[in-house]
Copies of this chain bind each other. A is one copy, B any other.
Amino acid sequence: MDISKRGQEIQPSPIRKLKPYADKAIERGIHVYFINIGQPDIPTPQPILDAIRGYDEKVLSYGPAQGLLELRQAIADYFTSYNIPLTSENVIITIGGSEAIHFSFCVVADPGDEIIIPEPFYTNYNGFASFANVKIVPLTLRIEDGFRLPPKEEIESRITSKTRAILLCSPNNPTGTVYTPEELERVISIVEEHDLFLIGDEVYKEFVYEGNTHKSILEYEEVKDRVIVVDSISKRFSSCGARVGAVVTRNEELYQSLLKFAQARLCPPSVEQKAALAAYRMGLDYFQPVREEYEKRRDILFEGLKDIPGIVIHKPQGAFYIIVRLPIKDAEHFVKWMLTDFFLDKKTVMVAPAQGFYCSPGKGKDEVRIAYVLKEEDLRQAIDVFKEGLNKYMSVFS
């Protein structure tokens, strides 16, 4: 009576596994700046909170498996306002972007099939690969290149007879890289030539800086039947706990199959769908000040870190993460040490060891991911504490 192989092999969350050390630091009276996870401190928009507080049904009943029609329509309209004409028939509401990823993996791949994903990548892709018994084939990117995509031949070298899809996350978690149209087109030509699906994780769509905008793979008509996009309100509307996302496709056959997966789990949460509807009704103007806030934080973080001797860092173009290579051997040891052995004015910092974002063994051991999810004052203090801690760590362990 052993548990399943997938149950044994599924990766524990590398972001959450050090959490107990943080909890213990807090118990000792230390203030911990959490810049390890993508939990923004941006207030949830008032219309979302009002919709929750105004919930007025007598029976909290099942909704449709594909989600509330009004919300599907609102999301279609949202894409349409970005010049991506969609209808509600292209949208299935999911339980967070998480479920959209899971559905996407299941609908394109059977057990043993492969999906190519540039690494470092969002660590929970691993979890859903375990659920679905799909193999993730990493395409390793280099921090020195700012995590840009490699030449076509290098991407193609990862394709086997079992490859079913390529997944692109842009703006990228954990690197902050935003792929250029040229990079997207490189991958599009590959999926066309090798007859593959293309999964796009575009949940950070609005968070692109310096006046640039995000280009969606949904904009490419030539691959409209190959494309599945993973979407979510978690970061867009600072509503991570709502668990409302969407999977978007214009391939009717894919849609019908996704719908059957959706039917198996009955429906997404009813209250938060109404809340999400209220959020989309705010319109695109909502994003401007939020984007400016994140851009300011990005600049503070980048400027605060860039002159650390021996560091490798690039300025992220989007999302709210940065990967930093540190002049140390074992980032996980450092992160733990910061929680167990270090504090400055009763404060310390938790960042995420980057190794968990790679699936190639040994990669990312000297890198961390930092999320700029705290307001200016907190972020500045966190940077000071981080730098002081790193200095101390290097003096002790080198």
Additional 6 contacts, C-beta under 8 A, given A5-B110, A243-B270 = A1-B197, A4-B109, A63-B241, A111-B111, A124-B264, A241-B270
- Judge whether A242 and B60 touch: CB under 8 Å: yes
* Chain A residues packing against B (C-beta within 8 Å): 1, 3-8, 10-13, 16, 37, 39-44, 48-49, 52-55, 57-63, 65, 95-96, 98-99, 102, 106-113, 124, 126-128, 130-133, 164, 195-197, 225-226, 238-243, 253-254, 257-261, 263-272, 275
Q: Would A11 and B260 be within 8 Å (CB), given that A3-B253, A99-B265, A113-B4 are in contact?
A: yes
A261 is contacted by which of B40, B96, B131, B270 (Cβ under 8 Å)?
A: B131
Residues of B with C-beta under 8 A to A131: 102, 106, 131-132, 261, 264
Q: Top 9 closest A-B pairs, CB basis?
A: A127-B264, A241-B270, A13-B263, A7-B257, A111-B111, A98-B265, A7-B107, A62-B240, A44-B60
Q: Would A4 and B41 be within 8 Å (CB), given that A10-B261, A49-B55, A61-B240 are in contact?
A: no
Please measure, in the bound complex, the distance between the C-alpha atom of A259 and the C-alpha atom of B19, giving whole angstroms.
Answer: 14
Q: Would A257 and B8 be within 8 Å (CB), given that A1-B195, A52-B271, A65-B13 are in contact?
A: yes
- Say how far A101's CB is from chain B's closest CB, in angstroms: 9
- Judge whether A95 and B265 touch: CB under 8 Å: yes
Residues of B with C-beta under 8 A to A126: 264
- Judge whether A269 and B257 touch: CB under 8 Å: no
Residues of B with C-beta under 8 A to A41: 59
Q: Would A62 and B4 be within 8 Å (CB), given that A12-B263, A127-B263 are in contact?
A: no
- Judge whether B243 and A95 touch: CB under 8 Å: yes
- Say how far A281's CB is from chain B's closest CB, in angstroms: 17
- Say how far A46's CB is from chain B's closest CB, in angstroms: 10
Of A39, A53, A62, A128, chain B has the most CB atoms within 10 Å of the CB of A62
- Say how far A256's CB is from chain B's closest CB, in angstroms: 8
- Say how far A69's CB is from chain B's closest CB, in angstroms: 11
